[in-house]
A and B are shown apart, each in its own frame.
Chain A
Amino acid sequence: AQKITQTQPGMFVQEKEAVTLDCTYDTSDQSYGLFWYKQPSSGEMIFLIYQGSYDEQNATEGRYSLNFQKARKSANLVISASQLGDSAMYFCASWGTGRRALTFGSGTRLQVQP
């Protein structure tokens, strides 16, 4: 079974600074994938970045990067040069072997301050 833990209910960051959102996962699967989604107040879940368990390099997508530490079972999202539009809920999620649907964490609300 997959379990995703996000321990930061809320985070504040100044505009143009970097911020790290924490995510730890619990799985016995050998093969799995980790995702980060952004949910603005409009409600839509927006895919940001993906890391496969066998990927040797940390994933990057523009200002988003994933700090993947397999031994520690953590997959933290790093947002560089924060923008006001980054204010939203952020969810970590995962697939596991034989698990056809994503399991989500409880989310972190990020607020970017000018």
Chain B
Amino acid sequence: DTGVSQNPRHKITKRGQNVTFRCDPISEHNRLYWYRQTLGQGPEFLTYFQNEAQLEKSRLLSDRFSAERPKGSFSTLEIQRTEQGDSAMYLCASSPGLYTEAFFGQGTRLTVV
């Protein structure tokens, strides 16, 4: 299967701990997106990469959040000093071009206790 892959699928962490999620996009896609989705809501944009360059960040991406995409391949999203409000589904998507459909992974569900 050559779709978007996210790991881990589920993560439970204690408040104050750091967590890191990984996303492997479809190999020929140079655009990669991170979204956050809370229960009953649509996905909210967090950040966007074109190749290795992080081109856009949402106001939702506080100082505790950092994302990287070294060498324009996989991406990681790190949350430092997690808070209960960070509990959500974190979705990664990739696309082959601007203004085309985005292909999503199955998400990482984070629970902060």
A103, B45: Cβ atoms under 8 Å? yes
In the complex, A33 Cα to B97 Cα: how many Å? 13
B107, A44: Cβ atoms under 8 Å? yes
In the complex, A47 Cα to B109 Cα: how many Å? 20
A91 at the interface (CB under 8 A from B): yes
A107, B99: Cβ atoms under 8 Å? no
B104 at the interface (CB under 8 A from A): yes
In the complex, A64 Cα to B93 Cα: how many Å? 22
A50 at the interface (CB under 8 A from B): yes
Of residues 63 through 114 on chain A, the ones whose CB sits less than 8 Å from some CB of chain B are 91, 93, 95, 100-107
A47, B41: Cβ atoms under 8 Å? no
Chain A residues closer than 8 Å to B43, beta-carbon distance: 45, 91, 102, 104
In the complex, A50 Cα to B102 Cα: how many Å? 11
Chain B residues closer than 8 Å to A44, beta-carbon distance: 104-107
How many residues of A sit at the interface, in one of the four size bands? 20 to 34
How many residues of B sit at the interface, in one of the four size bands? 20 to 34
CB nearest neighbor in A for B45: A101
How many cross-chain pairs have Cβ atoms below 8 Å apart between A and B? 53
Interface of B is mostly: strand
* Per-residue interface assignment for chain B, residues 72 to 91, with 1 indicating a CB less than 8 Å from any chain A CB and 0 otherwise: 00000000000000000101
In the complex, A43 Cα to B91 Cα: how many Å? 9
Interface of A is mostly: strand
In the complex, A100 Cα to B33 Cα: how many Å? 9
B103, A47: Cβ atoms under 8 Å? yes
- Which listed residue, A33, A43, A46, A105, touches B107 by the CB 8 Å rule? A43
A33-B91 contact given A44-B105, A106-B41, A107-B42, CB 8 Å threshold: no
B99, A101: Cβ atoms under 8 Å? no
CB nearest neighbor in B for A4: B42
A42 at the interface (CB under 8 A from B): yes
Smallest beta-carbon distance B91→chain A, Å: 7
Q: Which residues on A are within 8 Å of B, measured CB to CB?
A: 4, 33, 35, 37, 42-47, 50, 91, 93, 95, 100-107
In order of increasing CB-CB distance, the 9 nearest A-B pairs are: A104-B42, A45-B104, A101-B45, A44-B106, A43-B107, A47-B101, A95-B99, A104-B43, A91-B42
